[in-house]
């Protein structure tokens, strides 16, 4: 039986904990505090995040897409496949080691998406980019932590709180889409999105694809093309 081998570790900024990269044969896993965050054999829902969002902006010739959370590169690779030749992708990843792994031992898993000239990687918290952007993106794809119920960084909670959702709304162009991945459903989160002016669809996606694996949750939240009133 092949055992898991620790390949590398990377510090999570501001948290005093490490992400651990493991390999077992051709299988890779990233863990924190003994919990597996992602596995190279289970990535269908990460791809679905882009596959569901990109058709919503299909009519735009040069879409700008912000991806929060690099993971093992599967969401970025799927966005490249579905966004078109004119797309420009900005990938924000706060853990430098994760970027290094995607250029090194994990690069082959998703087909080396970081080598595509349409992709720009920024080693920064996606929240910093959201706060600075105004009507800058056609789509924002967030696969940060475990979703609204975070695990890795307390600072990630801001993204899913009203202030973070308002920042995402402001950073989207009219008619743009915010897509959010979560390991599990989050009661009341759809309602929270609607309070900030989004039109919301909540979708279940299988972790492994082809009807296999556990259920994951994806929210597709569109900023209306015309101004929408927000309830407070």
pTM of the full structure: 0.92
Distance of CA 210 to the CA centre of its chain: 21
Q: Domain for residue 5, yes or no?
A: no
Q: Which of 192, 122, 125, 200 is nearest to 163 (CA)?
A: 192
Q: Domain for residue 230, yes or no?
A: no
pLDDT over threshold 60, residue 150 = no
d(CA 60, CA 86): 9
Q: Are 216 and 207 in contact (CB under 8 A)?
A: yes
Q: Which of 100, 46, 54 is nearest to 75 (CA)?
A: 46
Domain of residue 68, CATH code: 3.40.50.150
Q: Which of 100-104, 141-145, 188-192, 213-217 has the lowest mean pLDDT?
A: 213-217
Q: Domain for residue 56, yes or no?
A: yes
Print the domain residue range for 188.
Answer: 41-222
Task: Measure Cα distances from 53 to 57, 65, 142 in Å.
Answer: 7, 10, 11
pLDDT over threshold 90, residue 214 = no
**The pair of three-digit structure tokens given for residue 51, joined into one six-digit string:** 């596959």
Q: Are 24 and 5 in contact (CB under 8 A)?
A: yes
Count of structural domains within the chain: 1
pLDDT tens-digit readout, 44-78: 999 999 999 999 999 898 999 999 999 999 999 99
Q: Domain for residue 25, yes or no?
A: no
């Amino acid at each position: 039986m092949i055992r898991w081998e620790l390949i590398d570790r990377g510090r999570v900024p501001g948290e005093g904990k490490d992400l651990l990269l493991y390999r077992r044969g051709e299988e890779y896993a990233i863990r924190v505090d003994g919990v597996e965050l992602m596995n190279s054999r289970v990535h269908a829902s990460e791809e679905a995040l882009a596959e569901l969002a990109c058709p919503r902006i299909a009519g735009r010739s040069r879409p700008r897409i912000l991806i929060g959370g690099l993971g093992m590169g599967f969401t970025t690779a799927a966005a490249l496949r579905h966004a078109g030749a004119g797309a420009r992708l900005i990938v924000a990843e706060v853990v430098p080691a994760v970027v290094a792994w995607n250029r090194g031992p994990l690069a082959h898993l998703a087909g080396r998406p970081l080598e595509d000239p349409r992709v720009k990687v920024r080693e920064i918290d996606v929240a910093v980019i959201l706060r600075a952007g105004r009507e800058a993106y056609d789509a924002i794809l967030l696969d940060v932590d475990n979703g609204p119920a975070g695990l890795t960084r307390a600072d990630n909670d801001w993204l899913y709180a009203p202030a973070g959702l308002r920042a995402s709304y402001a950073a989207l162009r009219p008619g743009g889409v915010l897509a959010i991945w979560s390991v599990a459903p989050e009661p009341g989160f759809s309602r929270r999105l609607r309070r900030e002016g989004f039109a919301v669809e909540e979708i279940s996606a299988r972790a492994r694809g082809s009807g296999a694996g556990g259920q994951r949750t994806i929210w597709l939240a569109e900023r209306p093309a015309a101004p929408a009133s927000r309830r407070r």
